[in-house]
Amino acid sequence: MTASAQPATIGEAPHRVDFEIIPPRGLLVVGLVLAGLVAAVATNRLWALDFFHVVGGGMWTALDLFLGFVLGPIMGRLSIPARTEFTTRFMPTMILIMPTLVVATLAAGWQLARHLGYLNASYSHHGWVVASMIVVAVMAVVALGILEPANLAVLFELKKPQPNGEVIAKLMRRFIYSAGITGAMQVVTLVIMTRLATT
């Protein structure tokens, strides 16, 4: 979640756009995905678990890399009104999408690893599995401790009658530092997962 609405000049007030911080219709989709996840875990069917893990993980990784290294720099070059409008339309959906993808990937991945015997210490590549847990833990700390709070705070700031550009700029600076960490961790995740899938 690395999109930004960084003002060109610190202190410059962005335009105010009316929007919903949490889109209610999106909650229905989240509910359906979580219900499917519960069903996949309950039935313990290999295909369903693999589906949630691969699709969720692929989308999570792709979104993080795309936002961090493609969309983020493009947004940085947009005009302030364009950036503000994009942020207010885009970030509310991301607030729902990212946690849903993360929980689907992790819960299905855990169950899948158990199903396939990857969690057993005797598994020849158990070290890679543990490494993936550590990578996920680092990403969780960055996402939950830096990215998501800043995203939410920016959306609340943009809801104000007169958004404070200084506050938005301060919050968005966090993205610059954390996007690199998240991107690097996602690359490491790709290496670990492709190793596990091919050995």
Residues engaged in binding other proteins (CB under 8 A): 22, 34, 37-38, 41-42, 99, 103, 106-107, 110-111, 114, 119-121, 129-130, 133-134, 137, 140-141, 144-145, 148-150, 152-153, 156-157, 164, 166-167, 170-171
b/e 29-54 (16+ beta carbons within 10 angstroms → b): eeeebeeebeebbeeeeeebbbbbbb
Between 72 and 109, name the residue whose CB sits nearer to other proteins.
109
**CB of residue 149 to other proteins, shortest distance in Å:** 4
| CA–CA dist 45, 71 (Å, integer) | 36
Side chain identity, residue 10: I
User: Is-contact 98 29, C-beta < 8 A?
Assistant: no
> Which DSSP state fits 161?
S
Between 67 and 107, name the residue whose CB sits nearer to other proteins.
107
Between 23 and 69, name the residue whose CB sits nearer to other proteins.
23
> Which DSSP state fits 119?
T
**CB of residue 55 to other proteins, shortest distance in Å:** 17
**CB of residue 70 to other proteins, shortest distance in Å:** 26
Between 46 and 82, name the residue whose CB sits nearer to other proteins.
46
**CB of residue 74 to other proteins, shortest distance in Å:** 26
Non-local (6+) Cβ contacts of 127 within 8 A are none
